[in-house]
């Protein structure tokens, strides 16, 4: 994927398991709300920024994250400084920056596959709530597979519509893309059913359902 | 019962959301420029219905959290959730769900007006519901300030409601995916 | 017992509303290479989908090696591997390894067995050692081969294919033919590719939902050409007729 958010390791921070990093992030999040002094929070934010080189993440990332937040944060800080004083505004800015930097560092030093693994572990107890973790994982991995394809389809649609002078028209771009995607979904479902590849969900799935539904697949309407 | 087709539609529409992120932002003159991607929330609900729409957007949001650069501009990762606008991403899921619910249940027969109503309820109501409190908590500023700031997004949001309803109506004519009771 | 081997259709009727899509009374397919030819909309795709229960007939029965496709659908789908026309629609996982693993995991095979079967199938279809590769970056032909490999790894008894080479270029089509020829399974395929048709032992011509010719390849092709000529002479093309 173009413009990956992850930075290659190895580094001491890359080596920390994903679960621990997420826990640390959560603790930091709650912790900074309990700190009430500007120097303290400011120090925390600086420490986080200083960890970037330890994770082999270029400091440039610290800057770009701050820059992306600047308009919104600046506006809020300005209003807060006016109403509540500069001290409180400073605390807000330091806290938001610190947390965003910390979260950014976790993302930059943790492989997507490792994050996925944490999610799957977290989903396991959910099966008692009627959620099938294997199916959630399946749908998510399918999305990952199809993202580059749909992005390519979008580029093709833009080129095709561009030739008709509609290259910047969101309507002319979204409608064909979505229709193509739904048609593709029909073919994909058919192929998965034929392979009997769907991971386990409910125990008692009537299989004639699939046959009946596939027969009416061209009806394009789904009964509820 | 979640069928194969349900799961595939969810996965594929999550990919559609990612593809919408490739479209350039549109400036309106007033307010914040809008992305086609935020339209996707209302589209997911209107076209796929509440459950699948929420599932699709849920997959998308989780993938962003796990570190994929799927938001417009190639953004993504946990940093987004830590910032002021993080709540709106969670709101995307609720927004899709409520748009879908309204699109399925509202007693308005013609598609376009029904989608308008559904998108207002879900796309604005549903998205702002987690969005505002998160923003307020993260920045610890007065609620009135937060609400005033959000008004910046309003012109864009209203345009999105209309646009999404037009797109959903056109897709429905070409390929209805859900059937109303 | 030998009676049961093969695909059998008895009094099969498939309709959509008023329109009859398929009407096949007595068909027994036991040969090792069978072809289906016919125009678009002729019903050959529907016929193929009866063979693995993707389509359940409104009347009549489809049995595959003695199993009723409507009642024992899961067992039939494990026996019959189905290759579709669109390579993109058949690959659902981001990497080759995950794709191969998907069906094998659904069969609840242990990891060692999955790896062995996966490697074996990939090697057979010219994708050896590429487990880590991204599925998206494969060519259309490679995707079709991956689809074939992932189905082959499940060890089906019968392979059914719906215009498998329609979206491939000529080298892709030729390679596909070379790979299918030595397969030990019984193969039934619908195709417009006459080279593939000529590889078959028995060829059926389908028109307007009925089997109108059933012969060895050259005779069946000739019958199909006559049919198309007849439609042309009558001022209609058979696809438009079927859609009417």
CB-CB under 8 Å, A195 with C56: no
- The structural domains of chain A, with segments of one domain joined by +, span 1-110, 112-224
Say whether residue A204 is in contact with chain C using an 8 A CB cutoff: no
Measured between beta carbons, the chain A residues lying within 8 angstroms of C89 are 184, 187-188, 190-191
Among residues C187, C211, C216, C159, which one has the least CA distance to residue C44? C211
Among residues B105, B111, B107, which one has the least CA distance to residue B164? B111
Measured between beta carbons, the chain C residues lying within 8 angstroms of A184 are 86, 88-89
Describe the crossing of helices A60-84 and B127-139 by its angle, rounded to 10 degrees.
80
For chain C of 244 residues, list the mean pLDDT of each consecutive stretch of 10.
81 94 95 95 95 95 96 95 96 96 92 95 96 95 96 96 94 94 96 93 96 96 95 73 50
Smallest Cα distance from A98 to chain C, Å: 35
pLDDT for B51 beyond 90: yes
Per-residue pLDDT averaged across B9-20, rounded?
97
pLDDT for A220 beyond 50: no
Q: How buried is C220 (Cβ within 10 angstroms: 0-12 exposed, 13-18 middle, 19+ buried)?
A: buried
Per-residue pLDDT averaged across B16-23, rounded?
95
What digits encode the pLDDT tens for the residues C173-197?
A: 999 999 999 999 999 999 999 899 9
What are the CA-CA distances from residue C185 to residues B159, C78, C156 (Å)?
A: 58, 13, 7
pLDDT for A187 beyond 90: yes
Pick the residue of A182, A189, A194, A219 with the most B CBs within 10 A to test the interface with B by mutation.
A182
C97 — phi, psi (to 5°)?
-60, -45
Smallest Cα distance from A79 to chain B, Å: 7
Residue A206's pLDDT is 40
Residue C162's pLDDT is 96
CB-CB under 8 Å, A224 with B175: no
CB-CB under 8 Å, C103 with A194: no
C165 and C156 Cβ atoms separated by less than 8 Å = no
Residue C3's pLDDT is 64
Smallest Cα distance from B129 to chain A, Å: 19
* Residue whose entry in the numeric block shows the structure tokens 């080279």: C195
pLDDT for A9 beyond 90: no
**Looking at chain B, which residue has its C-alpha nearest residue A119?**
B66
What digits encode the pLDDT tens for the residues A31-71?
A: 988 888 889 999 999 999 999 999 999 999 999 999 999 98
What digits encode the pLDDT tens for the residues C155-173?
A: 999 999 999 999 999 999 9
* Residue whose entry in the numeric block shows the structure tokens 């307020």: B136
Per-residue pLDDT averaged across A105-121, rounded?
95
CB-CB under 8 Å, C98 with A191: no
A197 and C106 Cβ atoms separated by less than 8 Å = yes
A 10 A CB-CB count for C5 gives 14
Q: What is this model's ipTM?
A: 0.93
| pTM score of the predicted model | 0.92
CB-CB under 8 Å, B178 with A179: no
Residue A213's pLDDT is 47
CA-CA-CA-CA torsion sign (C113, C114, C116, C121): positive
Residue A21's pLDDT is 97
In chain A, residues 180-199 whose CB comes closer than 8 Å to chain C:
184, 187-188, 190-199
Smallest Cα distance from B77 to chain A, Å: 6
Q: Please, what's the largest Cα pairwise distance for chain B?
A: 47
């Amino acid at each position: 994927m173009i413009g990956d958010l992850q930075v290659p390791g190895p580094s001491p921070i890359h080596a920390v398991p994903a679960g621990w990093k997420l826990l640390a992030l959560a603790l930091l999040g709650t912790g900074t709300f309990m700190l009430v002094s500007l120097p303290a929070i400011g120090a925390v934010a600086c420490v986080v920024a200083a960890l970037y080189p330890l994770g082999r993440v270029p400091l440039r990332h610290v800057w770009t994250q701050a820059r992306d937040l600047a308009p919104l944060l600046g506006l809020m800080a300005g209003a807060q400084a006016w109403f509540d004083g500069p001290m409180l505004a400073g605390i807000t800015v330091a806290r938001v920056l610190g947390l965003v930097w910390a979260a950014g560092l976790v993302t930059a030093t943790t492989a997507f596959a490792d994050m996925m693994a944490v999610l799957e572990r977290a989903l396991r107890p959910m099966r008692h709530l009627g959620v099938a973790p294997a199916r959630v994982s399946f749908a998510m991995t399918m999305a990952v597979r199809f993202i580059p394809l749909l992005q390519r389809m979008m580029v093709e649609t833009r080129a095709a519509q561009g030739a008709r002078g509609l290259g910047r028209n969101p309507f002319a771009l979204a409608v064909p893309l979505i229709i193509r995607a739904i048609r593709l979904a029909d073919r994909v479902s058919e192929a998965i059913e034929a392979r009997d590849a769907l991971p386990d969900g409910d125990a008692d799935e009537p299989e004639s359902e699939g046959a009946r539904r596939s027969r009416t697949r061209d009806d394009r309407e789904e009964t509820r | 019962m979640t069928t194969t087709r349900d799961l595939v539609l969810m996965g594929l529409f999550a990919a559609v959301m990612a593809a919408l992120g490739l479209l350039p932002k549109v400036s309106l003159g007033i307010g914040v420029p809008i992305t086609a991607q935020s339209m996707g929330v209302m589209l997911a609900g209107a076209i796929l219905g509440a459950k699948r729409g929420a599932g699709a957007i849920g997959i998308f949001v989780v993938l962003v959290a796990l570190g994929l650069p799927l938001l417009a501009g190639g953004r993504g990762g946990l940093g987004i959730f830590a910032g002021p606008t993080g709540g709106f991403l969670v709101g995307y899921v609720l927004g899709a769900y409520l748009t879908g619910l309204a699109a399925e249940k509202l007693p308005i027969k013609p598609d376009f007006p029904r989608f308008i109503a559904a998108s207002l309820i879900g796309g604005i109501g549903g998205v702002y519901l987690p969005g505002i409190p998160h923003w307020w908590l993260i920045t610890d500023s007065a609620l009135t300030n937060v609400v005033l700031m959000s008004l910046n997004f309003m012109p864009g949001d209203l345009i999105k409601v209309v646009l999404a309803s037009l797109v959903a109506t056109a897709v429905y004519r070409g390929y209805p995916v859900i059937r109303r009771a | 017992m030998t009676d049961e081997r093969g695909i059998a259709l008895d009094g099969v009727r498939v309709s959509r509303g008023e329109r009859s899509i398929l009407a096949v009374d007595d068909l027994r397919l036991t040969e090792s290479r069978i072809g289906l030819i016919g125009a678009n909309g002729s019903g050959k795709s529907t016929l193929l989908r009866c063979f693995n229960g993707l389509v359940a007939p409104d009347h009549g029965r489809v049995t595959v090696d003695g199993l009723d496709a409507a009642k024992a659908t899961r067992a039939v789908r494990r026996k019959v591997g189905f290759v579709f026309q669109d390579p993109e629609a058949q690959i659902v996982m981001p990497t080759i390894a995950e794709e191969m693993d998907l069906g094998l995991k659904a069969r609840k095979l242990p990891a060692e067995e999955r790896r062995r079967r996966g490697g074996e199938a990939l090697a057979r279809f010219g994708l050896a050692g590429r487990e880590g590769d991204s599925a998206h970056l494969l060519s259309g032909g490679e995707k079709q081969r991956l689809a074939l490999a992932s189905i082959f790894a499940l060890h089906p008894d019968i392979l059914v294919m719906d215009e498998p080479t329609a979206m491939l270029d000529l080298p892709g089509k030729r390679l596909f033919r070379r790979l299918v020829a030595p397969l030990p399974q019984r193969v039934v395929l619908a195709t417009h590719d006459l080279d593939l048709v000529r590889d078959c032992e028995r060829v059926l011509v389908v028109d307007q939902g009925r089997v109108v010719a059933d012969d060895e390849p050259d005779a069946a092709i000739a019958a199909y050409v006559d049919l198309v000529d007849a439609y042309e002479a009558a001022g209609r093309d058979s696809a438009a007729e079927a859609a009417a």
